[in-house]
Structure 1
Amino acid sequence: MTNSQHDNSEYPAEFLLRIPKTDLHCHLDGSIRLSTLIELAAAQSILLPAYTVSELKEIVFKPKYLSLEEYLECFKYTTAVLRNPDALVRVAYELAIDQFSIGVRYSPQLLAVPGVLTVEDAIEKVHEGLARACTEFNALPPVANGEEPEYKYGIILCAIRHFTKDSSPWYKAFWEMHEHEGEKRIYGLASVSLVATADKLRTNKNTPIVGVDIAGAESGFPAEDHKEAFSLAHKKFFFKTVHAGEGYGPESIFQAITDCHAERIGHGFHIFDTTNFSNPERSLESKESYVEALIQYMSSMRVCIEVCLTSNLQTLPNTLLEQHPARKMIEKKMAISLCSDNMTVSSTNVLNELKLAIHAFKLTPWQVKDITMTGFKRSFMFGDYVVKRAYNRKVIEFYDKLAKEYGVISLRNTD
């Protein structure tokens, strides 16, 4: 569905463009500009299946994918060109220019090259690119004069649920160093290493690493494999988010919350699915009770679901936008935020995701504000909580100012 097909007449296009937004779930390696991908591949002699933007969109970065696994194939091309310090700075800078919202995440262990680019270097180069763009934009008059909220970012480090020796040079070296360990143990140890690195950089260099995540194929690779790493992250006061309920059912989300202490859930698409349980003999009544208890807990604790509409429609081809479970999440007053997931792989951005949601779910002005502000309230912002509260207040005041300016009434619902 293109932007021209959206019926957002209740909300002026300029209003939707100008309101402050977050992107809590945006992968750096899935959001590289295709023109940049081509340039970097040529400069580094990396083979691509095509060397024009239109051909790459036809062959690799498709409108639809057969499965999550096919969707993830795109990343072998993007990560290949990012194992270079200058490339990381450039892509992070360009992402900030294209994006400018909170919550950039990526997997540095996929990009590190032993002896050439360490995991620490990969993180610091991304920080350098994001900081450069942030400084430039915060110097512009509307922000510098205090008329608009400043731009902020935080880095979420993403561990991988499972990997092979061929996933990256770093993973190859790590696998060889632990060749006598079982596969699941190796997955978990790599995540522990990532958390330890995050702690070192945040402590010694004040790098704005706000949290950790795990991503990758979900079915068959449970979050419990990474329980030790997330326990360490919890003890080190990192925020936690987990890709869950994207390729598996409610039990995966439960495991993310209980075993990994997740405060946010990436996707959560299958949260209402009573057919997707590990024990097929469990009665329907017990499944429904389990799901309802999970929903009530998440709602009460305001565990935010990072909803990625376009990405889900691409990896679950039989899903219609109007039937996306986000509709039910909104009806049940769950905490959700609209996210891009991968701007390039999914050919989208947060503005487009907002338009899609307004069109499909007929969002009221209050619902638009509530979802938008939830992104700020549930963000893993780096730094002092008092500063965060003041920033969020400024964001709300700016939103209300724009709503008044464009005649968009956002009075709170009575329910």
Structure 2
Amino acid sequence: MSQRYSNDFLKAMPKADLHLHLDGSLRPAGLIEMAKRSGVELPSYTVDGLYEQVFKESYNDLGEYLNGFQYTCAVLRDMENLEQAAYELAMDNLAEGVIYIEVRFAPQLMMDPSRGIDFDRVMHTVNDGLKRAQDEYNQQAEVRDGNKPPFHYGIINCAMRMFGKKGFSPYYTQLFQTLRDHEPKQVIKIAAMEMIRASIRLRDEEGLPIVGLDIAGQEMGYPAHDFKEVYEYAHQNFLLKTVHAGEAYGAESIFEALTQCYADRLGHGYSLFSPDMIQDESIEDKSGYASKLASFIADRRIAIEVCITSNLQTNPAIGDVRNHNFKHMYANRLATVICTDNRLVSRTTVTNEYELALQTADIPLKRLKDIVAYGFKKNFFPGDYLAKRAYAKQALQYFDTLAAQHQISE
């Protein structure tokens, strides 16, 4: 690990997390509290027990990694729990210097029509929790006086790439029953289009800071082009777009996200520098294809949301962190944003992810500042462009102040 920076500096410096799943980032003690309150059965009611049985340091595969979401999603269908989770997530980020977050989740996983929990109620509840944390933090004297940057946030709504007829959520179960004569893929696309239309309505009519669209879930077998119309609708309505791409599939999935879904950012993008993961038989020169794609992404300044711990856990073949493809992203001057993915499921923090990134490359202060800057310049800020620029400038000036205080220089 680079010895340039102390943990105290990495924790204090202003940071952004742009790839942050609400349902994967609960406090473990909070999950236990919520489960008891809502009558949700857990494998254990102690933090150590949950860590041992569910939220592990390492996983055998993606399926085991995703196992814990059945418990978090179950408790988040209680609106008191949902607001608490959003509030606590913001406060946990603020405790380690993360002053801008984009919280993403699939609202339809939380909906329960039989209990009156519809899309609007879910979205307002999440926003209430985030806004409460924002108001508390931004009322501090240091923030009001301009000595520290304020906290801001946006919400990214996820469409699910796939879901079954039963068990994913009450909303999805009911939708399959209502549309029982449709093909499953048609039902999935209808749900995605319904979600994006409702997202834009709430943004435009009620001012909720819904800033982006994502598709989440199993990448293999559920390509991005299935959601081309959904992304076109978002694109035509000035909603920004990120895509889970290149996490568990080859670089061709990244190409598809860019060309079929107008992606403004890429979630994970790990396989970009793993040409062996390409499965499209029409691509004969896999290394050449990956190299051209990487150069295109770098030239267009399309940011990659890098989640190192998550990649190590869902792809055990990577092994040591020094084998992670972040080192290639860094060497090829890609715009990278260091993110957590799931703070609980991956048992990580943004500070920890920076420490891991620093194990893959020796990053001087100027390049570290560049990486920090991408989190503020490539985000989907809920205000206008001028407000976004001013906020980024304030955050980076604060970075310089802290670097001087910690006596860090080139």
TM range (shorter): over 0.9
Distance of 2:283 and 2:87 partners within structure 1: 50
Distance of 2:283 and 2:389 partners within structure 1: 44
Aligned partner of 1:75 in structure 2 is: 69
Output one character per residue of 1:287-341: Cα deviation in whole Å (capped at 9) or x when no partner: 2222122112111111110000011111111212001001000000001000010
Distance of 1:336 and 1:310 partners within structure 2: 15
Aligned partner of 2:97 in structure 1 is: none
Output one character per residue of 1:124-160: Cα deviation in whole Å (capped at 9) or x when no partner: 1000000000000001111111101100000000111
Aligned partner of 1:402 in structure 2 is: 402
1:287 and 2:286 aligned: yes
* 1:281 Cα deviation from its structure 2 partner: 6.2
Output one character per residue of 1:92-118: Cα deviation in whole Å (capped at 9) or x when no partner: 000010014321111111111113211
Q: 1:222 to 1:16 in 2, by over 3 A?
A: same
Count, aligned residues: 402
Q: 1:14 to 1:279 in 2, by over 3 A?
A: closer
Aligned partner of 1:391 in structure 2 is: 391
The correspondence of residues 216-295 of structure 1 with structure 2, limited to 5 A, is 216-280=217-281, 282-283=283-284, 286-295=285-294
Deviating more after overlay: 287-296 vs 262-271: 287-296
SS state at 1:26 partner? strand
The correspondence of residues 128-167 of structure 1 with structure 2, limited to 5 A, is 128-165=128-165, 166-167=167-168
Output one character per residue of 1:257-293: Cα deviation in whole Å (capped at 9) or x when no partner: 111111111111111222223334642xx22222122
RMSD across aligned positions (CA): 1.3
SS state at 2:337 partner? strand
SS state at 2:266 partner? strand
* 1:8 Cα deviation from its structure 2 partner: 5.0
SS state at 1:271 partner? helix
Output one character per residue of 1:365-413: Cα deviation in whole Å (capped at 9) or x when no partner: 1221111111111000001111111111111111112112222225xxx
Kept in 2: contact 1:246–1:269 (CA 8 A): yes
> Which segments of 5 or more consecutive residues in structure 2 lack a partner in the other structure?
95-99
Kept in 2: contact 1:343–1:349 (CA 8 A): yes
Kept in 2: contact 1:28–1:104 (CA 8 A): yes
Distance of 2:249 and 2:236 partners within structure 1: 28
Kept in 1: contact 2:38–2:78 (CA 8 A): no
TM, length-normalised to structure 1:
0.94
Output one character per residue of 1:329-356: Cα deviation in whole Å (capped at 9) or x when no partner: 0000001000010000000010110111
> Which segments of 5 or more consecutive residues in structure 1 lack a partner in the other structure?
1-6, 411-415
Aligned partner of 1:85 in structure 2 is: 79
Deviating more after overlay: 236-245 vs 266-275: 266-275
Kept in 1: contact 2:252–2:280 (CA 8 A): no
SS state at 2:149 partner? coil
Kept in 1: contact 2:155–2:211 (CA 8 A): yes
Kept in 2: contact 1:29–1:106 (CA 8 A): yes
Could you list the structure 1 runs, at least 4 aligned residues long, displaced by more than 6 angstroms after superposition.
none
Distance of 1:35 and 1:213 partners within structure 2: 29
Distance of 1:308 and 1:348 partners within structure 2: 10
